[in-house]
Structure formats: structure tokens, C-alpha cells
């Protein structure tokens, strides 16, 4: 018999544990080998290894090579990281130097005041 | 009045006809070729109509295909607006005479996390131009683009005051390098930037 959650705190904690297991589908749009693109790849690798190890799929797309993909995903800035899964869809523009902001945006860290 | 001599004609700017009779007449042949033109006017004054006519006439009558890049604040169907002007963009699209790219910028799903540029936009513009060998480009409307970008990448105090006419040289100079590069690369392309006051 599975254990029934006792109260709202337990339900909440269970949900948090669930979200920690969620698989992430990420797409990083870069512009060739520009400095900003290279930094974005380095920063993202670090974030994924530290916070999403073993539960993410990352696709890196060079918009110079595949411009139609940039159109399909409504990309305007480079670099852009798209969190396709889990929902909601989010886009992070920039070289991903602001780790704190990304972790919050990826729902890996509670927002301030929560 | 004496007609202009050949030597004086050569000194004049080359023009791209808009196909709008009265406008081509008073401008001495149309919009300056190979240069950006900023169209400014209040809402409903016909900026988009002017730009569309420029593209459609170019595609149909002057063998100059055109790209229409629309910046939209919402995901309303922009093709509907254009259809109401009496132009069948889909048909011209199938004939590879006009390429349309609708750019939606949904601010609520975008987060800034560091340095970026607008290369994504320019790659899309370049790709649309290449796809039909476009000679004319319309960006409609540019202030939607500027308003939707949060940081100081495109900061332009003159523009912020709504003084777009005075701001034209500043605006063009301040456009990011890739667009200036595209203008440079496609010196035979005329483009219309549509903005409202």
C-alpha cells in the first residue's frame, strides 16, 4: 500500500521531488563561433552539469547553418536558450552569465520572496 | 523650364519606383535606391499600405521581389490585415515574388541573462532575402521591435522622444552592425522602415 500524504506540506514536498526528476529539453541557438556564443555554451554546460546532471537533452543549433529553424522558433537574439520542456516554454537571451536568473527561470530555484 | 542635362542627371540619386503614380511624380521617380527610407505617420495614416504597395508593385511590375518582415505585439493574424488592403500575399509567395516573415516577440516568456545581439533577426532577414533574391525589404513596424527589447542595445534618446524624422541618421547609424552589413552587402536593395509617430 502506498503511503498517503498527510498534509499540504507533504503534498508540496512530494511535488518538489517530482519536479526535481523532470526531464529537461533545451535548445541553444548560437551565431557561429562568436565570443558570446562560445561563452553561452560554456556557461550552459556548467549549469547543466551542476543542476541537471543525467536529466536533460541539449541541442545546439547554429543559426547561420539552419536559419529556417531560427524562424520556426521565433528567434531574434543570439545566443538564445529555449526551454522546450518541461512547460512553460521559456526563452533566455544572452550569454547565460546570469546563473541565478537562469536557475529561477528553469524552476530549479524558488523566486525571491517565495 | 530647361530639362536637366545628362551630366546633372548623373548626379541625382537613382530611384526605385513605388508604382504609386502621384508619389513617383513628386519624388522624381520613387524612393532612393539602395538606401533605407523611414516612413513616419500617425496610426491609420497608411504607412503599411504605402509599404505594401511598394513591395507588390515592385514584385508585379518591376521584377523586383520583396521581403515583408512584420513585427507584431500579439499573435493576431497579420495576413488578415494585409488581405484587407487587397493584396494576395499567399499567391505572390507561391510565385516567389514576396516572402513574409512574422516576428512575434512575447516579452513575458523572454528572460535576459547576459550579453546578446540581434543576429537571429538578421539571419532570418538574410535568409528571406536569399530565398527569393529580394530587391526590396520592408520592416513594419520598427518601434514594436525597439519597444520589445529591454536593454540599452538600441537605446536612442531622440527616438524615445518620438522625434523620428530628426532621428533618422542616428537611427540608421545605431542599427546593429549586422543590419548595416546587410545594407552594405545588398547595395541594390532598397528598404522601407515603417514607424509611426
DSSP tag of B153: G
Rounded distance between C-alpha atoms, residue A79 and residue A44, angstroms: 11
If pLDDT is split at 50, 70 and 90, which confidence band does B46 have?
Answer: confident
Tell me the mean pLDDT in the region B179-192: 42
If pLDDT is split at 50, 70 and 90, which confidence band does B193 have?
Answer: low
| Nearest by Cα to B140 from B66, B90, B31, B86 | B66
List the pLDDT tens digit at each of the 114 positions of chain A: 555 656 777 777 766 665 566 899 999 999 999 999 999 999 999 999 999 999 999 999 999 999 999 999 999 899 999 999 999 999 999 999 999 999 999 988 876 555
- Among B110, B114, B120, beta carbon nearest to A63: B120
| Nearest by Cα to B29 from B16, B42, B38 | B16
- Beta-ladder partners of A39: none
Is the model's pLDDT at B167 over the cut of 70?
A: no
Task: State the sign of the Cα–Cα–Cα–Cα dihedral A57, A62, A66, A70.
Answer: positive
pLDDT digits (tens, 9 = 90+) for B100-153: 888 887 778 888 888 888 889 889 988 999 999 999 988 887 777 766 665 544
DSSP tag of B34: T
CA distance B117 to chain A (A): 5
pLDDT digits (tens, 9 = 90+) for B31-43: 888 878 888 877 7
Q: Is A33 helix (H, G, I), strand (E, B) or coil?
A: coil
Residue with cell 541625382: B12
Substitution target from A30, A35, A77, A83 for chain B, most B beta carbons within 10 A = A77
- CB within 8 Å: A98 and B113: yes
Distances (CA, A) of B185 to A2, B31, B121, B192, B193: 67, 19, 16, 16, 18
Cβ-proximal residues to A88 (8 Å cutoff; 6+ apart), any chain: B109
Residue with cell 497579420: B78
Q: In order of start, what are the domains of chain A with their CATH numbers?
A: 22-105 (3.40.30.10)
Rounded distance between C-alpha atoms, residue B125 and residue B52, angstroms: 17
| Nearest by Cα to B136 from B27, B34, B38 | B34
Rounded distance between C-alpha atoms, residue A13 and residue B159, angstroms: 50
* Under 8 Å between Cβ of B182 and B126: yes
pLDDT digits (tens, 9 = 90+) for B61-107: 999 999 988 886 554 555 666 677 677 888 898 999 999 888 887 77
CA distance A51 to chain B (A): 17
* Under 8 Å between Cβ of A56 and A48: yes
Rounded distance between C-alpha atoms, residue A38 and residue B110, angstroms: 21
Say how many CB pairs under 8 Å bridge A and B: 100
Here the cell at position B50 is 504605402
Residue with cell 536559419: A67
CA-based Rg of chain B, rounded to a whole angstrom?
17
> What pLDDT, on a 0 to 100 scale, did the predictor assign at position B114?
87
Q: In order of start, what are the domains of chain B with their CATH numbers?
A: 14-106+116-196 (3.40.50.300)
CA distance A108 to chain B (A): 15
Is the model's pLDDT at B166 over the cut of 80?
A: no
Amino acid at each position: 500500500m502506498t503511503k498517503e500524504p498527510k498534509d499540504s506540506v507533504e503534498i508540496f514536498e512530494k511535488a518538489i521531488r517530482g519536479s526535481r526528476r523532470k526531464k529537461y529539453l533545451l535548445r541553444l541557438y548560437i551565431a557561429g563561433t562568436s565570443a558570446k556564443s562560445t561563452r553561452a555554451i560554456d556557461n550552459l554546460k556548467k549549469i547543466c552539469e551542476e543542476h541537471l546532471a543525467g536529466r536533460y537533452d541539449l541541442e545546439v543549433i547554429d543559426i547561420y547553418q539552419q536559419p529556417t529553424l531560427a524562424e520556426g522558433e521565433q528567434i531574434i537574439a543570439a545566443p538564445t536558450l529555449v526551454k522546450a520542456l518541461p512547460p512553460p516554454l521559456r526563452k533566455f537571451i544572452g550569454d547565460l552569465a546570469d546563473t541565478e536568473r537562469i536557475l529561477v527561470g528553469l524552476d530549479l530555484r524558488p523566486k525571491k520572496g517565495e | 523650364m530647361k530639362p536637366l542635362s545628362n551630366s546633372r542627371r548623373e548626379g541625382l540619386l537613382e530611384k526605385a519606383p513605388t508604382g504609386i503614380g502621384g508619389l513617383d511624380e513628386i519624388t522624381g521617380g520613387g524612393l532612393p535606391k539602395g538606401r533605407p527610407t523611414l516612413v513616419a505617420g500617425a496610426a491609420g495614416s497608411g504607412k503599411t499600405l504605402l509599404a505594401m504597395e511598394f513591395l507588390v508593385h515592385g514584385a508585379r511590375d518591376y521584377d523586383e521581389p520583396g521581403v515583408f518582415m512584420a513585427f507584431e505585439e500579439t499573435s493576431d493574424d497579420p495576413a488578415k490585415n494585409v488581405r484587407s488592403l487587397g493584396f494576395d500575399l499567399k499567391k505572390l509567395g507561391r510565385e516567389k515574388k514576396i516572402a513574409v516573415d512574422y516576428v512575434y516577440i512575447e516579452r513575458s516568456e523572454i528572460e535576459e541573462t547576459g550579453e546578446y545581439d540581434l543576429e537571429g533577426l538578421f539571419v532570418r532577414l538574410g535568409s528571406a532575402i536569399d530565398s527569393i533574391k529580394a530587391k526590396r525589404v520592408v520592416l513594419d513596424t520598427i518601434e514594436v521591435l525597439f519597444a520589445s527589447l529591454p536593454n540599452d542595445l538600441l537605446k536612442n534618446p531622440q527616438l524615445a522622444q518620438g522625434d523620428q524624422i530628426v532621428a533618422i541618421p542616428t537611427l540608421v547609424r545605431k542599427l546593429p552592425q549586422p543590419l548595416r552589413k546587410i545594407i552594405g552587402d545588398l547595395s541594390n536593395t532598397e528598404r522601407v522602415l515603417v514607424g509611426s509617430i
